[in-house]
A and B are shown apart, each in its own frame.
Chain A
């Protein structure tokens, strides 16, 4: 791995020059020393400061996100519960309203039926009373006619025969 061009280079360097620079062992002690120092420094920084810092930043964020998600989930559950409650109340109110309407309808129907029945009964009563009155009137008219006929018969018989016919006989004779 000898490099030809490197032999005639840079004379101001105290290291022995020539050959392939990475294989120049005179620089190795300095390389190891500085590598040890810088690597140890970076390791300490990463181990003690940067690592925990980044880790807690990530953990904090994850916690905040999870908390926010949990909160959102809770809010959602609350909203759903409220909606369920609202729907329950709505259903209950609707049922109540239906029941009330049904009851009112039933009551009104009953009232209407009762009023109708009352009116019917009154009408029947009035009709019966009228019938009775008609019957009575007819009866009295008939009696009046019968009486008139009897009286007439009595008067006729008296005029024709001079006999006094009793009212009962006259009535019998008239077939009444």
Chain B
């Protein structure tokens, strides 16, 4: 019996043959690809179909769509101000993608897209890329001021170095935070599920004892649901904060 808690994170092709290859790298249709397609389709279809423009009293679905819309809009507005709202589609997409990936991953037997460092690192790199492009487009060479805080001149080189390192570590911290949270939660769940199975199969008094890890699993499951939302929120709000710095440098917050 496959009770390896890491098994759930392995990416398996659903079609044995690669679809095609890009620069010599074979592209497979994998379990992760299926989940990503489901996430993108489900969230876009839900956001579109649940909403009717002239519905004065929203249905449950429309309320959820509008709530997530306003949640992200308020998040951007409170962290970056009015001019950050042009990034709304980007931040909203990030939020919905991460949130739905996290929640879809909570379904037993499915796959957690965000438990892959490749995915989170790609998303975080995209965020940093957008931040850098925005900063340079808005401020030109003055974007370098992001690394030069107001301080006495003699410690500026040191501060510049620290700011630069802190900026460069952002994609790593942003991606590892999401990746590690998802990975840890799902590993923990799998470990406890393994306990339940092996205790249940052991027979005798051990079968009764299997209830303990099962109850614990339910608790962790609830906690993971919270983490799934929280990590999507953290990812989105950190994106907003980074965008704010790119838009306003150190002028105001």
Enumerate chain A interface residues (CB-CB to B < 8 A): 3, 5-6, 9-10, 13-15, 17, 20-24, 27-39, 41-43, 45-47, 49-51, 53-58, 60-61, 64
Q: Kindly identify which residue among A20, A23, A30 contacts B33, using a CB–CB cutoff of 8 Å.
A: A30
B38-51: CB near A (< 8 Å → 1, else 0) gives 01110110011001
Q: Is the CB of A6 within 8 A of B90?
A: no
Chain B's closest residue to A20 (CB) is B6
Of A9, A32, A57, most buried by chain B (CB within 10 Å of CB) is: A57
Q: Is the CB of A46 within 8 A of B13?
A: no
Q: In this assembly, does B117 line the interface, its C-beta being within 8 Å of a C-beta of chain A?
A: yes
Enumerate chain B interface residues (CB-CB to A < 8 A): 2, 4-7, 9-13, 16, 22, 25-28, 30, 32-33, 36-37, 39-41, 43-44, 47-48, 51-56, 58, 62, 65-66, 69-70, 88-90, 92-93, 96-97, 115-119, 122-123, 126, 179, 183
Q: Kindly identify which residue among B22, B37, B62 contacts A57, using a CB–CB cutoff of 8 Å.
A: B62
Chain B's closest residue to A25 (CB) is B118
Specify which chain B residues have a CB less than 8 angstroms from the CB of A38 in the assembled complex. Answer: 36-37, 39-40, 97
Q: Kindly identify which residue among A27, A30, A60 contacts B53, using a CB–CB cutoff of 8 Å.
A: A60
Q: Is the CB of B47 within 8 A of A27?
A: no
Q: Is the CB of B40 within 8 A of A29?
A: no
Q: Is the CB of A45 within 8 A of B44?
A: yes
Question: CA separation between A3 and B53, bound complex, in Å?
Answer: 51
Q: Which 4 A-B pairs have the closest CB atoms?
A: A29-B25, A45-B44, A50-B47, A47-B89
Q: Is the CB of A42 within 8 A of B53?
A: no
Q: Is the CB of B117 within 8 A of A43?
A: no
Chain A's closest residue to B57 (CB) is A61
- Can you list 19 A-B pairs with a CB-CB distance of less than 8 A? A5-B4, A13-B10, A17-B10, A21-B9, A21-B11, A22-B115, A22-B116, A30-B28, A31-B32, A31-B119, A39-B93, A39-B97, A42-B39, A45-B44, A45-B47, A57-B52, A57-B55, A57-B62, A61-B58
Question: CA separation between A38 and B40, bound complex, in Å?
Answer: 6
Count A/B pairs, Cβ under 8 Å: 159
Specify which chain B residues have a CB less than 8 angstroms from the CB of A27 in the assembled complex. Answer: 11, 28, 30, 32, 118
Question: CA separation between A70 and B164, bound complex, in Å?
Answer: 54
Q: How far is the CB of A7 from chain B (nearest CB, A)?
A: 10
- With known contacts A29-B25, A45-B44, A49-B48, A34–B33 Cβ distance under 8 A: yes
Q: How far is the CB of B77 from chain A (nearest CB, A)?
A: 13
Chain B's closest residue to A48 (CB) is B89
Q: How far is the CB of B198 from chain A (nearest CB, A)?
A: 14
Specify which chain A residues have a CB less than 8 angstroms from the CB of B65 in the assembled complex. Answer: 50, 54
Chain A's closest residue to B183 (CB) is A22
Q: Is the CB of A46 within 8 A of B30?
A: no
Q: Is the CB of B89 within 8 A of A46?
A: yes
Q: Is the CB of B48 within 8 A of A53?
A: yes
Q: Is the CB of A31 within 8 A of B52?
A: no
Q: How far is the CB of B95 from chain A (nearest CB, A)?
A: 10
Question: CA separation between A77 and B243, bound complex, in Å?
Answer: 47
Q: How far is the CB of B25 from chain A (nearest CB, A)?
A: 4
Question: CA separation between A50 and B92, bound complex, in Å?
Answer: 10
Q: How far is the CB of A50 from chain B (nearest CB, A)?
A: 4
Specify which chain A residues have a CB less than 8 angstroms from the CB of B183 in the assembled complex. Answer: 22
Q: Is the CB of B89 within 8 A of A51?
A: yes
Question: CA separation between A51 and B5, bound complex, in Å?
Answer: 39
Question: CA separation between A6 and B51, bound complex, in Å?
Answer: 45
Specify which chain A residues have a CB less than 8 angstroms from the CB of B2 in the assembled complex. Answer: 9-10
Q: Is the CB of A42 within 8 A of B122?
A: no
Q: Is the CB of B10 within 8 A of A29?
A: no
Q: Is the CB of A28 within 8 A of B118?
A: yes
